A and B are shown apart, each in its own frame.
Chain A
């Protein structure tokens, strides 16, 4: 699970190690990546909203 989160974070930045990418494609479960991606996307939006409302407050 931690591996999946790390890979999604790397995808957010747009940079991934080749070794890790191969590993993900061989052993990973696509559903897990999609689910974690959606959840972390929502978390990112929430964080931006929080920062913005703090700044505006």
Chain B
């Protein structure tokens, strides 16, 4: 009777603690995609198999320790080898493993089948932001951390979505199969959104595939899941899943805006409009290394404010921004920013913080440089 009570108490504690874990969000979420529920089910099945194995193994162990203890005069039986027992403890785990492999493989096969996708999105990791490109739609943009620096430095209270908010979320339609193509410009990153059950490495020189069909509109947040440098924790992911019609409208608007931007390359730009645009781009892309006031943090990140070489040599400056500096943290922005954005940020850095060169870098000349 007493043993029974002990077993019962142990079992209840176990089930109870697992319920607490589920309720507190420590477990993986059920998710909102067609496959996420299945992946969750697989995870729970295997979890419970492990629990049963743990209870049986430790149960037998503790029972034996208690029942056959030395103070009760237990005598060890000395024997060597028992083929029957050995065969049993080899065959049983084999069957359990094969039993787990069957449903796991069935799910894996579905995960690795991105065929018949209705939309292709290229996801490129970059120190330290994500770039999204809607393939075949001429729409692409970068998505930066939107949490203010003051919150990160502890000067302001943390917001609700601290380090999990971006300036431009990835917008996706619900009920459509979306194929992702993952790659990276520099080091390895990983695109991870728990609610979509997608966690895929973004590796330079490789393209990894995955897909998702979201079933519920909503905002889903995630993070880079591969240690990628100092700002690894500062490149979050936000997916905005919307109804199909809303998505089509959004995409059409973005396409139009991109086309307009492309037309704007040839015209003569005013200093003021380039400066205004450049300031925004500087603070979202450059400021994390070169600092908000351009003071940099030498030696890793050189100062831009009062930088003699930058002020005197425009060509050198343009070249560094377009092509990056190999062997340093300075990436190439050739594919990240369009000519108008490049010209804006160049004009800004050549004229802000007392770098008063008075020079306007025109988008047209940058476009020409990019052709070379």
Contacts and interface: CB of A to CB of B under 8 A. Distances in A.
A15 B86 contact: yes
Contacts, number: 14
B81 A13 contact: no
B109 interface: yes
A18 B81 CA distance: 8
A15 B87 contact: yes
A55 interface: yes
A30 interface: no
A40 B81 CA distance: 26
B90 interface: yes
B105 interface: yes
A55 B90 contact: no
B83 interface: yes
Q: Binding site of B, secondary structure by majority: helix, strand, loop or mixed?
A: helix
A17 interface: yes
Contacts of A16: 83
Interface string B77-88: 000010100110
A14 B94 CA distance: 12
Contacts of A17: 83
A52 to B, nearest CB: 9
A56 interface: yes
Given A13-B90, A15-B83, A17-B83, 8 more contacts: A13-B87, A14-B90, A15-B86, A15-B87, A18-B83, A55-B105, A55-B109, A56-B109
- A-B pairs with lowest CB-CB distance, top 3: A15-B86, A17-B83, A15-B87
